[in-house]
Amino acid sequence: MTKPPVIEAKNLTVSYMLGHGFLAPKTRLNAVDNVSVTIDRGSFFGLVGESGSGKTTLGRALLRAAPISEGSVTYQDDEVRYDLADIEKAELKDYRKRAQLIFQDPYAALSPRMTVRDIIAEPLEVMGLTKTRAETDARVREIAAKCRLNLEHLRRFPHAFSGGQRQRISIARALVSGPRLIVADESVAALDVSIQADVLNLLKAIQRDMGISFLFISHDLSVVAHVCDHVAVMYLGQLVETAPTRALFERPRHPYTSALLSAIPSLDPDDDRQAEKLEGEVPSPTDPPPGCKFHTRCRFARERCRSEAPALREIAPERHVACHFAEEFDFSRQTAPAAETV
Amino acid sequence: MSDALISVQDLTIRFRTDEGLVTAVDRVNFDIRPGEVLGLVGESGSGKSVTAKALMRLNADNTDYDAASKILLNLPEGPVDVLGIRRERDLRVVRGGAISMIFQEPMASFAPAITVGDQMVEQLMIHTTMSKAQARELSIEMLARTGIPEPSRRFGQYAFEFSGGMRQRAMIAMALSTNPRLLIADEPTTALDVTIQAQVIDLMKDLVRDFHMAILFITHDLGVIAQTADRVAVMYLGRIVEEGTVRQVIRHPAHPYTLGLINALPKLDNLDADLTPVPGDIPSPLNRPTGCVFHTRCPVAIEGTCAAREPAMHPASDGHMAACHLTEEAVTEGMSA
């Protein structure tokens, strides 16, 4: 870990103004709220959270595809170092080669009118990375082979392919410009389980063989547990816990992480371990609760949680938790301790 | 099988398309008893939704039900031959009467410009003899029963004012208010977050117990099945390849496809286990394999046998059937090698 991290975000906030009319008051929505996160070079970093937690927006901000309202994001590889909050136009163009995105829906992400060869070649042509057609073709074939697409596939149109094959085409397109960072946003969510494993194995092979860093955004904790080496859990625009994967799954130190884990349906029909009931739903991000944003659904919430927002703090090497009681309570316990103890 | 609430026999469904007749469901048989939850598992294109829709005759006009197919519904008023109903009006006995359905995407299932309450009342007016006031009262009670806070206020709201989990609850409330004998739940939790999914699964379990109705639960998620179903049928390319109690099928899968699905699932209790995909892709329904439908992707297929002969359903143990030329032991051994 001597090399500097590929991504370092500090106090990153992405906010949007809602409401346009002069009668309706404008409200500010912090989709990403004061997030600091470090992604080590070559790591497979998982980002989990429910819909509306801001995980997609955070991923886009790191690609400079969402506005950085406050804070800073630094990208660094062997050749360049960019401060994404005030990056210049020429640098941004270069950054697009180095950081790529793979979308969720392989049916919507590929143009139906282009052949697979043209889909994969397009970034090369747009970015001017190759000079001759022969050079482009050679590069396309090389990447296609890495993604287990054969030459015959390159002449066809996307409709001829299944979901898993289409996702491999999307991956090839993302890889062709030689990125050092890939944001994979729910990239296996639309795939059947029998195919999902195949795409996950391919992404892992790319990380291992090409040394590319991944931000893997997913709502599926069991998938994240299997492929990621580091995980961050997001709730209402903020990180509530980050940890090495194994440590996080062995003992979650934030009550939200613990509830998420227990909500995964077990494959064992006789496992009647009751899911920790998270009552209610995620509050509206335009009107987040005061104090700890999770306190409205937390079984362990105390008076302090309602007024004072917990900071994300390091409680063990590489483990960060935003909870006042991370050391005190065992969140996997069925019952919360009596309130008087605090 | 006289105790079955619904009995599906040799159900074959083809669609008339420009490319010719496409077989979506091929000689499917199953029964559901009152109070029983049957899980129907399969991947996209396996024919599980088409099968479910056939029970209510909801498939499009280009659907061709084979002459030998039968769907028998045993109601207290007498048996109903669902595929034999000719008049659209008579289908009401089945649609929304004896059978209700909830869908994956609740936003797409509510009319956007009519309040949720009006939609609930409308169907009660069609299917029952209630007055409007009674229908309103029952609808609000059902909303409350499914855990929706402030039900009388919610009654007057539109679907877009509900969150995803609320919408699914409202849909369940609506489906159950006509007191159906069978509820078809087509991927009801797939679009929901895990914490909300856990709430909806608990709600459905409670409702089965309280209302004693049968459920056909369609999902691709074996974990959800393990937590909800009594029995499971696994579908692949229009065929049921394995059927049994949830414990039999998940603990001792006898078909290589079922075992492949389980091996492909990431498991939280063993993070070091490799994820093993089922090799290849599901074939196009236009180009159905000969012999066993799964042989093109099967790691233990027998050369010369599986491509030539279709395996019959044979018992693996009591009440547990699989359609494979190999025995359960041979499948397990072959796939762990």
Cβ distance A194 to B277 less than 8 Å, yes or no, reads yes
Residue in this structure with the two tokens 């004072």, named with its chain if needed: A308
Q: Is A188 near chain B, with CB under 8 Å?
A: no
Name every chain B residue with its beta carbon within 8 A of the beta carbon of A249: 268, 271
Q: Tens of pLDDT along B147-188?
A: 888 999 999 999 998 888 889 889 999 999 998 999 999 988
**Per-residue pLDDT band at B281 (split at 50, 70, 90):** confident
Mean pLDDT of A120-146: 94
Q: Is A106 near chain B, with CB under 8 Å?
A: no
Cβ distance A192 to B44 less than 8 Å, yes or no, reads yes
Nearest to B234 by CA among B324, B301, B302: B324
Name every chain A residue with its beta carbon within 8 A of the beta carbon of B265: 193, 222, 267
Q: How far is A53 from chain B (nearest CA, A)?
A: 11
Which residues pair with residue A74 across a beta bridge? A8, A83
**Per-residue pLDDT band at B216 (split at 50, 70, 90):** very high
**Per-residue pLDDT band at A163 (split at 50, 70, 90):** confident
Q: Is B280 near chain A, with CB under 8 Å?
A: no
From the list B221, B250, B282, the residue facing A269 with the nearest CB is B250
Mean pLDDT of B8-16: 96
Where would I find the H helices in chain A? 55-62, 89-98, 116-127, 133-146, 151-154, 163-175, 193-210, 221-227, 245-250, 255-262, 303-307
**Per-residue pLDDT band at A151 (split at 50, 70, 90):** confident
Cβ distance A275 to B267 less than 8 Å, yes or no, reads no
Is the model's pLDDT at A336 over the cut of 60? no
Interface test with A, best of B105, B168, B195 (most A CBs within 10 A): B195
* Cα-to-chain-centroid distance, residue B140: 27
What distances in angstroms separate CA A139 from CA A117, A121, A124, A142, A209, one per listed residue?
10, 8, 9, 5, 17
Higher pLDDT, A341 or A302: A302
Is the model's pLDDT at A287 over the cut of 80? yes
pLDDT of residue A337: 57
Q: B56: which residues sit within 8 A by CB, 6+ positions away?
A: B82, B91, B94, B95, B99, B101, B184
Q: How far is A339 from chain B (nearest CA, A)?
A: 25
Residue ranges of domains in chain B: 113-179, 256-336
Interface test with A, best of B194, B247, B276 (most A CBs within 10 A): B194
Cβ distance B195 to A200 less than 8 Å, yes or no, reads no
Cβ distance A267 to B224 less than 8 Å, yes or no, reads no
Asked which of A22-36, A156-170, B255-269 is least confident by mean pLDDT, the reply is A22-36
pLDDT of residue A274: 63
Mean pLDDT of B255-284: 88
The DSSP secondary-structure symbol of A240 reads: E
pLDDT of residue A341: 41
Residue of A nearest to B268 (CA): A222
Is the model's pLDDT at A84 over the cut of 60? yes
If you average pLDDT over every residue of chain B, what do you get?
Answer: 91
pLDDT of residue A334: 54
Cβ distance B194 to A246 less than 8 Å, yes or no, reads no
Q: Over A120-161, what HEC string results? A: HHHHHHHHCCCCCHHHHHHHHHHHHHHCCCCHHHHCCCHHHC
Q: Is the ipTM of this complex over 0.85?
A: no
Is the model's pLDDT at A263 over the cut of 90? no
Interface test with B, best of A192, A256, A296 (most B CBs within 10 A): A192
Interface test with B, best of A191, A194, A201 (most B CBs within 10 A): A194
**Per-residue pLDDT band at A340 (split at 50, 70, 90):** very low
What distances in angstroms separate CA B114 from CA B160, B161, B326, one per listed residue?
11, 12, 55
Which residues pair with residue B64 across a beta bridge? B14
Q: B15: which residues sit within 8 A by CB, 6+ positions away?
A: B21, B22, B24, B60, B62, B63, B64
Rounded to two decimals, what is the model's pTM?
A: 0.88
**Per-residue pLDDT band at A306 (split at 50, 70, 90):** very high
pLDDT of residue B268: 83
Is the model's pLDDT at A194 over the cut of 90? no
**CA-based R_g, chain B, Å:** 21
pLDDT of residue B270: 82
Mean pLDDT of A140-163: 91
Asked which of B144-153, B174-183, B267-276, B283-292 is least confident by mean pLDDT, the reply is B267-276
Is the model's pLDDT at A342 over the cut of 50? no
Q: What percent of chain B has pLDDT over 70?
A: 99
Nearest to B22 by CA among B307, B283, B216: B283
The tokens describing A234, both together, are 């997001």
Domains and CATH numbers, chain A: 7-341 (3.40.50.300)
Residue type, A245: T
Mean pLDDT of A27-32: 90
pLDDT of residue A74: 97
Mean pLDDT of B52-68: 93
Phi and psi at A75, nearest 5°, equal: -110, 140
From the list A198, A261, A281, the residue facing B163 with the nearest CB is A281
Q: How far is B275 from chain A (nearest CA, A)?
A: 6
The tokens describing A334, both together, are 């069925």
> Chain A, 217-256: which have a CB under 8 Å from a chain B CB?
219-223, 225-226, 245-246, 249
Residue of B nearest to A228 (CA): B271
Mean pLDDT of A313-317: 93
Q: How far is A303 from chain B (nearest CA, A)?
A: 24
Nearest to B298 by CA among B268, B314, B322: B322
**Per-residue pLDDT band at B80 (split at 50, 70, 90):** very high
Mean pLDDT of B190-203: 84
Higher pLDDT, A216 or B205: A216
Asked which of B84-98, B166-180, B272-286 is least confident by mean pLDDT, the reply is B272-286
Q: In what order do the strands lie in the sheet with B239-245?
A: B99-102, B182-186, B214-219, B37-41, B231-236, B239-245, B320-322, B314-317
pLDDT of residue B189: 85
Is the model's pLDDT at A333 over the cut of 70? no
Q: How far is A191 from chain B (nearest CA, A)?
A: 9
Name every chain A residue with its beta carbon within 8 A of the beta carbon of B221: 265
If you average pLDDT over every residue of chain A, what do you get?
Answer: 90
Q: Is A190 near chain B, with CB under 8 Å?
A: no
**CA-based R_g, chain A, Å:** 22
The tokens describing A154, both together, are 């390159």
DSSP assignment string, B262-288: HHHS--TT-TTSPP-PPSS-PPPGGGP
pLDDT of residue B1: 46
Name every chain A residue with its beta carbon within 8 A of the beta carbon of B282: 162, 192
pLDDT of residue B329: 81
Mean pLDDT of A22-38: 86
